Amino acid sequence: MEKVEGHFEMFQILNEDGKVVNKEALPDLSDEELTEMMERMVYTRIWDQRAISLNRQGRLGFYAPVAGQEASMIGSHYALEKEDWILPGYRDVPQIVWHGMPLYQAFLYSRGHFHGGQIPEEVNVLMPQIIIGAQIVQTAGVALGLKRKNKDNVAVTYTGDGGASQGDFYEGMNFAGAYNAPAIFIVQNNRFAISVPVEQQSAAKTIAQKAVAAGINGVQVDGMDVLAVYAATKDARENALNDEGPTLIETLCYRYGPHTMAGDDPTRYRTSELDDEWEKKDPLVRFRKYLEEKKLWSEDKENEIVDKAKDDIKAAIKEADNAPKQKVSDLIEIMNETLPANLQKQLEEYREKESK
Active site residues: 255, 259, 269
Whole-number pLDDT of residue 2:
61
Asked if pLDDT for residue 4 goes beyond 80, the answer is no
Higher pLDDT, residue 5 or 271? 271
Q: How far apart are CA 213 and CA 217, in angstroms?
A: 10
Whole-number pLDDT of residue 1:
47
Q: How far apart are CA 14 and CA 264, in angstroms?
A: 32
Give the residue from 106, 18, 5, 118 showing the smallest Cα distance to 313.
Answer: 106
**Tens digit of pLDDT for each residue in 149-178?**
999 999 999 999 999 999 999 999 999 999
Whole-number pLDDT of residue 303:
98
Asked if pLDDT for residue 242 goes beyond 60, the answer is yes
Percent of the chain residues past pLDDT 90, beyond the cut: 96
Asked if pLDDT for residue 8 goes beyond 60, the answer is yes
Which amino acid is present at 60?
L
Whether 253 and 71 have beta carbons less than 8 Å apart is answered as: yes
Name all domains of the chain by residue range, CATH numbers in brackets.
4-323 (3.40.50.970), 326-356 (no CATH)
